[in-house]
Amino acid sequence: MRYNALRILREGLTGNAGWKPAWRDPAPRPEYDIVIIGGGGHGLATAYYLAREYGLRNIAVLEKGWVGSGNVGRNTTIIRSNYMLPGNEPFYELSLKLWEGLEQDFNYNAMVSQRSILNLFHSDAQRDAFVRRANAMMLAGADAELADAEQLRSELPFLDFDNARFPIRGGLFQRRGGTVRHDAVAWGYARGADRNGVDIIQNCEVTGFDIDAGKCRGVETTRGPIRARKVAVCVAGSSGRVMAKAGMRLPIESHVLQAFVTEGLKPVLPGVITFGAGHFYVSQSDKGGLVFGGDIDGYNSYAQRGNLPVVEDVAEGGMAIMPMIGRARLLRSWGGIMDMSMDGSPFIDKTHVEGLYFNGGWCYGGFKATPASGYCYAHLLATDRPHPVATELRLDRFGRGHLIDEKGVGNQPNLH
Ligand SMILES: Cc1cc2nc3c(=O)[nH]c(=O)nc-3n(C[C@H](O)[C@H](O)[C@H](O)COP(=O)(O)OP(=O)(O)OC[C@H]3O[C@@H](n4cnc5c(N)ncnc54)[C@H](O)[C@@H]3O)c2cc1C
């Protein structure tokens, strides 16, 4: 069923009795061409592009919980392509371009809102670094715009420009950045994949791999064994645990990241704003809540909830740039498990086991990557060659010394 204005009108006049479930609930079959483990944004996007771009339909997505139960439904919804390094920027710019056409593409309202992102800077040295980043972005075809403090004062008068410790000197805008309704992305890709014949199997946890003589022939699941020619792991925060079942140790640690939402307020924030002297980012949802977050909890964990010291730290960051936030009441908070890689950049690669592929290491920036991640992973699975914008996202880059360390902080995952 395609969604369109006429359909909404007809359903509205006939008691909404004609809507069908957005995707089927099939039982797992004994064998598929490709089994994707993880029904998050990346797994579902991979299935969607495999079907749509390569005409492959004998595909199952196995999800241990329900579609949208992982990070795809827990993030702070920010999309952008303001990266600097050649291994990253073209990939994230492709993602932003895919976001721009996504809703028409999969016929679903994901509320893609290019309301802009602004990274504040607080010193001359930081401004120079942002100028360099802006130039790198423009070289890769992205948009970037530098603003001085005077421009920001007129656009965002509520910011604390003269904070004694962190005076705001200006900022780097990416006007095409913004937000997308996160769970609608999972639903849209799930519906699109299902319409192309993909089986989305929820409540089906992968508990092991069938690996024989260096070749992966399928998976063990809580709903029985499933054979497959190719197995594509795509489980974000559970990457370490799942790949351990295949005998692999990854350059990834799992940490909790928390998100916070205030009560609904009148429109006040035009776009996404990030603090340059601490870790704090904020936007306003269409319902009016201020949606914000900051650093990950500083220790490894697979819990989907965080702890109070980070709540205090995030609140301090918010107060430092936007004191008015102190008067808003916090409505809810939650946590998700981040697959923090050692250089802060992701992987989309084959493994040394034939037929076993890996997608992960998204840290806390994988939501914006969802379309390109699915697109490039589908390319790798279908052709056995990396997509041209994902050639650097390899598992062996640490052995080769070719890190993609966007922040330049070294192999300390909790700092990326
Ligand atoms: C609080 C928070 C804020 C964030 N903010 C942003 C942001 O603003 N912008 C941004 O770009 N990124 C952000 N992120 C990061 C982003 O959400 C993730 O990087 C991205 O969603 C990960 O990809 P995914 O959607 O496929 O993950 P998930 O939705 O977590 O999908 C993985 C799926 O695998 C399933 N799974 C795990 N183990 C198994 C198994 N054994 N068998 C079957 N299924 C299994 C899980 O149940 C899960 O559904 C944020 C994350 C959090 C938690």
Q: How far apart are CA 97 and CA 217, in angstroms?
A: 36
Tell me which of 41-55, 59-73, 177-191, 398-412 is least confident.
398-412
For ligand 1, atom 4, the nearest C-alpha belongs to: 75
* Residue 408 reports pLDDT greater than 80: yes
Q: Which residues of 26-48 are buried (b: 16+ CB within 10 A; e: fewer)?
A: eebeeebebbbbbbbbbbbbbbb
Atom of ligand 1 nearest to the CA of 67: 49
Closest of 198, 202, 204 to residue 221, by C-alpha:
204
User: According to the model, what pLDDT value does residue 414 have?
Assistant: 80
Q: How far apart are CA 292 and CA 314, in angstroms?
A: 8
Structure tokens that stand for 147 in this block: 């603003």
Q: Which domains does the chain have, with CATH numbers?
A: 27-77+182-251+343-415 (3.50.50.60), 113-176+253-339 (3.30.9.10)
Q: What is the DSSP string of 336-349?
A: EEEEEETTS--EEE
Percent of the chain exceeding pLDDT 70 equals 100
User: According to the model, what pLDDT value does residue 416 have?
Assistant: 83
Q: In angstroms, what is the span from residue 370 Cα to ligand 1's centroid? A: 10
DSSP conformational letter for 251: S
pLDDT band at 12 (very low <50, low <70, confident <90, very high): very high
Residue 326 main-chain phi, psi, to 5 deg: -65, -20
Q: In angstroms, what is the span from residue 119 Cα to ligand 1's centroid? A: 24
Atom of ligand 1 nearest to the CA of 77: 8
Average pLDDT, the chain: 96
Gyration radius of the chain over CA positions: 21
Q: In angstroms, what is the span from residue 165 Cα to ligand 1's centroid? A: 35
With H, G, I as helix, E, B as strand and everything else as coil, classify residue 103. helix
pLDDT in tens, 164-216: 899 999 999 999 999 999 999 999 999 999 999 999 999 999 999 999 999 99
pLDDT band at 281 (very low <50, low <70, confident <90, very high): very high
Other C-beta atoms within 10 Å of 415: how many?
A: 15
Q: In angstroms, what is the span from residue 10 Cα to ligand 1's centroid? A: 36
Q: How far apart are CA 370 and CA 360, in angstroms?
A: 11
User: According to the model, what pLDDT value does residue 204 have?
Assistant: 98
Atom of ligand 1 nearest to the CA of 80: 11
Q: In angstroms, what is the span from residue 167 Cα to ligand 1's centroid? A: 35
Q: In angstroms, what is the span from residue 70 Cα to ligand 1's centroid? A: 5
- 189, 191, 194, 195: CA torsion to nearest 10: -110
179: enclosing H helix or E strand: strand 178-179
12: enclosing H helix or E strand: helix 5-13
With H, G, I as helix, E, B as strand and everything else as coil, classify residue 300. strand
Other C-beta atoms within 10 Å of 354: how many?
A: 13
Region 15-31 average pLDDT: 96
CA–centroid distance for 65 within its chain: 18
Maximal CA-CA distance, the chain: 66
CB 370 within 8 A of CB 185: yes
* Residue 405 reports pLDDT greater than 90: yes
Hey, which residues does 257 pair with through a beta bridge? 296, 336
HSE-CB at 348 with a 13 A cutoff on CA atoms is 29
Q: What residues line ligand 1, using a CB cutoff of 6 Å?
A: 37-43, 62-65, 69-72, 74-78, 205-206, 234-238, 242, 257-259, 293, 336, 362, 364-368
pLDDT in tens, 350-398: 999 999 999 999 999 999 999 999 999 999 999 999 999 999 999 999 9
Q: In angstroms, what is the span from residue 39 Cα to ligand 1's centroid? A: 9
User: According to the model, what pLDDT value does residue 228 have?
Assistant: 98
Region 309-334 average pLDDT: 95
Give this prediction's pTM: 0.97
Q: Which residues of 68-79 are buried (b: 16+ CB within 10 A; e: fewer)?
A: bbbbbbbbbbbb
Structure tokens that stand for 180 in this block: 């997308």
Atom of ligand 1 nearest to the CA of 179: 8
Atom of ligand 1 nearest to the CA of 186: 25
